[in-house]
């Protein structure tokens, strides 16, 4: 009798502990995904224009899944302490659904991260930056978003183009069709700026004198936050799911042993 009682209490204790951890991780996941969705680096317009904003969809799913995990963990703790079959069955089924959604979020984040190569941003920058005549409102919205984001990126990170200023010279672009390449070998934002936001020396910038223009590419400034976002959602979700898997297996074993 004592051995069975101890066994029950140990299993209950483990499952309650497991559910507490799931609840806390759920809140953490919600908070992390809200942070990513708020787009602190302002890169969402670039992803929206490439139609590759899957990592944002994954973060949105993560917000709701995190909250669901927290609510279900409370349900699970109550069900385990009361050893109620119905509550635990509801808990298991809802947890399986939540598991499936979180799995979708992790896979989406990991898969869509693979699409965000330098060439993708290069093509979009060349086609949309300062595009003169947008075709419709959607085009205009995306063009404005891309132009503003690139201007901000080049100004704040002291960079030019995706791989370097030579991007503007090796390819034709929407920018090139309205700006001749003697006055604008690269956009003005690539010049080293003073405190008022004007180029320090315009001739030096146009000629490519070192120190008067930004000679490195912006890809690192883009891929850093995007990677943090994608791996943060994918791997943290994966860790939560591994833990949830163990807790759920234990709960199913516990449930199958409950007498009527």
Partner 1 sequence: MKESGAMSSLVTDGSSKALDSTFQQTHGGQLRPYKAAAFHVPSCASPPRLVDAGDVSKVSDVLKQYLFRVGDDGTCLYDPNFLDVCNPPLAPGTTYRFKYVLVESTEGIVKDQTLWSDPIKTRRVKLPLQVDTWPGRRSGAMIVITSILSVLLFLLLAGMLAAVSSAVMRPEGPSAETRCTPQTAQPSDPRPQLGSE
21-29, 30-38, 58-66, 243-251 -> range binding partner 1 (CB under 8 A): 243-251
Query: What contacts 13, CB < 8 A, 6 or more positions away?
Result: none
Cβ(29)–Cβ(240) under 8 Å? Answer: yes
Cβ(161)–Cβ(190) under 8 Å? Answer: yes
Q: With respect to partner 1, which residue has the nearer C-beta, 156 or 227?
A: 227
Polymer length in residues for the chain: 260
Backbone dihedral region for residue 192 (phi beyond 0: left; psi -120 to 50: alpha; all else: beta): beta
Indicate whether 228 belongs to the interface with partner 1 (CB under 8 A). no
Binding positions for partner 1, 22-81, rule CB under 8 A:
none
Shortest gap between Cβ of 180 and partner 1 (angstroms)?
A: 8
Shortest gap between Cβ of 52 and partner 1 (angstroms)?
A: 10
Q: With respect to partner 1, which residue has the nearer C-beta, 153 or 230?
A: 230
Cβ(244)–Cβ(95) under 8 Å? Answer: yes
d(C-alpha 222, C-alpha 2), whole Å: 61
Number of residues that bind partner 1 (CB under 8 A): 61
Indicate whether 242 belongs to the interface with partner 1 (CB under 8 A). yes
Indicate whether 107 belongs to the interface with partner 1 (CB under 8 A). yes
Binds partner 1 by CB under 8 A, chosen from 60, 111, 144, 152: 111
d(C-alpha 249, C-alpha 237), whole Å: 18
Binds partner 1 by CB under 8 A, chosen from 63, 122, 142, 191: 122
d(C-alpha 124, C-alpha 147), whole Å: 10
Q: With respect to partner 1, which residue has the nearer C-beta, 40 or 50?
A: 50
d(C-alpha 221, C-alpha 64), whole Å: 29
d(C-alpha 99, C-alpha 104), whole Å: 9
7-15, 40-48, 53-61, 153-161 -> range binding partner 1 (CB under 8 A): 7-15
Binds partner 1 by CB under 8 A, chosen from 48, 84, 139, 144: 84
Query: What contacts 80, CB < 8 A, 6 or more positions away?
Result: 12, 15, 16, 19, 88, 251, 254
Binding mask 10-29 toward partner 1 (x if CB under 8 A, else -) reads -xx-----------------
Binding mask 164-183 toward partner 1 (x if CB under 8 A, else -) reads -----xxxxx--------x-
The DSSP 8-state label assigned to residue 188 in this structure reads G
Indicate whether 255 belongs to the interface with partner 1 (CB under 8 A). yes
Using the Cα atoms of residue 13, residue 17, residue 23 and residue 26 in order, give the sign of their dihedral: negative
Query: What contacts 98, CB < 8 A, 6 or more positions away?
Result: 65, 68, 69, 72
Site of interaction with partner 1 (CB under 8 A): 1, 3-4, 7-8, 11-12, 82-85, 92, 96, 99-100, 103, 106-107, 110-111, 113-117, 119-120, 122-123, 126-127, 169-173, 182, 201, 203-204, 207, 209, 212, 231, 234-235, 238, 241-242, 245, 248-249, 252-260
């Amino acid at each position: 009798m004592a051995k069975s009682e101890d066994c029950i209490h140990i299993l209950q204790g483990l499952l309650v502990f497991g559910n507490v951890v799931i609840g806390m991780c759920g809140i953490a996941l919600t908070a992390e995904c809200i942070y990513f969705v708020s787009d602190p680096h302002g890169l969402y317009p670039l992803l929206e224009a490439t139609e590759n904003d899957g990592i944002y969809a994954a973060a949105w799913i993560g917000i709701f899944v995190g909250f669901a995990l927290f609510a279900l963990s409370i349900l699970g703790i109550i069900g385990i302490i009361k050893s109620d079959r119905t509550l635990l069955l509801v808990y298991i089924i809802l947890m399986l659904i939540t598991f499936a959604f979180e799995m979708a979020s992790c896979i989406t984040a990991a898969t869509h991260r693979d699409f965000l190569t330098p060439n993708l941003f290069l093509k979009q920058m060349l086609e949309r930056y300062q595009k003169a005549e947008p075709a419709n409102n959607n085009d205009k919205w995306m063009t404005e978003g891309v132009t503003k984001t690139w201007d901000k990126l080049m100004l704040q990170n002291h960079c030019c183009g995706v791989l370097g200023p030579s991007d503007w010279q090796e390819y034709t672009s929407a920018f090139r069709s309205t700006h001749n390449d003697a006055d604008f070998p690269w956009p003005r934002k690539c010049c080293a700026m003073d405190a008022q936001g004007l180029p320090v020396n315009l001739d030096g910038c146009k000629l490519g004198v070192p120190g008067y223009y930004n000679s490195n590419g912006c890809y690192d400034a883009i891929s850093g936050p995007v990677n943090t976002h994608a791996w943060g959602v994918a791997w943290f979700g994966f860790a939560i799911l591994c833990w949830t898997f163990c807790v759920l297996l234990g709960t199913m074993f516990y449930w199958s042993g409950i007498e009527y």
